Amino acid sequence: MAMAIVIAAITATLFGSGCIGNRDTGHVVKLQIAGSTTVLPIAEECTRVFMERHHGSQIYVSGGGSSHGIKSVADGTVDIGDASRDLEDSEKEKCPDLVAHAIARDGVAIIVHPSSPVSDLTIGQVQSIYTGEITNWKDVGGEDSEIMVVSREEGSGTRDCFEQVVLKPIKKEITDHAIIRDSNGKVRATVAGNEKAIGFLSLGYVNPDVKAVKLDDIEPTIENVLNGRYAISRTLWMITKGDPDANEQTFLDFVLSEDGQRIVSEVRFIPVR
């Protein structure tokens, strides 16, 4: 009887401490991650699953934009910086030991209000709208109403991708009349709330609240990003300062594992593996 009580007590202690039935894979990780709002859903969901499997790990994830993520990891404020654009030459010169790790692919969709009759635009029309040369929807097959141009802020990786493909070839900039939003979610909410609006955001953020238009008759889909037919696409990155340390490498290995890349697909981005 006494032995049974001792065994029961030991068993209860082991269960209570997590030594039995624990999903921990044996590596406790502590990390700070910040940056791109495009990469944010991937980072958040991977972190949630990772911490379920690595009990005791503490990973804090926040947004702030690609430039913020890159600057923060360069300064040592965070361990991993998320970015939805390539490192700029000036960033490489300032911090040459930054290492970029590709974790997903993405497209940038042009979006309008779901009620808009416009479902297809050419690159030329998008250029003219975003430079302020076309200001009325009737000029691109819509109703007679003023176009409300919505853009991301400077430093956004999504804006950088959009500008590289749409505006850099004609050496022009986004109109000063554009409404600026500081996240993909806010761009989506703005366009969803105004029938006259047009915006651009990560393909992973497209939902029934907005309508993604064809670009030169090509739909912004995962398949068309992969086959190269859709023009506005990019790589998503997690950036470390120097080669990853043990904690950083453990998390990156998970993101790039079969389970991690499945999460990438589940949050509507494109796996790199």
The pLDDT tens digits for 193-245 are 999 999 999 999 999 999 999 999 999 999 999 999 999 999 999 999 999 99
Best CATH choice for the domain 107-233 from the list 3.40.50.620, 1.10.540.10, 3.40.190.10, 3.40.50.800: 3.40.190.10
Whole-model pTM: value is 0.82
Can you tell me whether residue 202 is helix, strand or coil?
strand
Instruction: Please tell me the predicted confidence (pLDDT) of residue 7.
Output: 38
Can you tell me whether residue 11 is helix, strand or coil?
helix
pLDDT per residue as tens digits for the range 4-40: 433 344 334 333 333 333 355 567 999 999 999 999 9
Mutual angle of helices 246-255 and 258-266, in 10-degree steps: 60
Q: Calculate the CA dihedral of residues 32, 38, 42, 47 and round it to 10 degrees.
A: 20
What's the distance, CA 113 to chain centroid? Answer: 22
Mean pLDDT of the 170-191 span: 97
pLDDT per residue as tens digits for the range 128-177: 999 999 999 999 999 999 999 999 999 999 999 999 999 999 999 999 99
Instruction: Please tell me the predicted confidence (pLDDT) of residue 26.
Output: 65
The more confident residue out of 16 and 59 is 59
* Residues 6 or more apart whose Cβ sits within 8 Å of residue 84: 36, 38, 39, 66, 106, 156, 157, 158, 161, 202, 234, 236, 237
Instruction: Please tell me the predicted confidence (pLDDT) of residue 15.
Output: 38
Instruction: Please tell me the predicted confidence (pLDDT) of residue 273.
Output: 80
**Which CATH class name applies to 2-105+236-266?**
alpha beta
Instruction: Please tell me the predicted confidence (pLDDT) of residue 110.
Output: 98
Is the model's pLDDT at 59 over the cut of 80?
yes
Every domain range in the chain assigned CATH 3.40.190.10: 2-105+236-266, 107-233
Contact of 255 with 82, CB cutoff 8 Å: no
Between β-strands 233-241 and 98-112, what pairing exists: parallel, antiparallel or unpaired?
Answer: antiparallel
pLDDT per residue as tens digits for the range 72-115: 999 999 999 999 999 999 999 999 999 999 999 999 999 999 99
Provide the pLDDT confidence category of residue 123 given band limits of 50, 70 and 90. very high
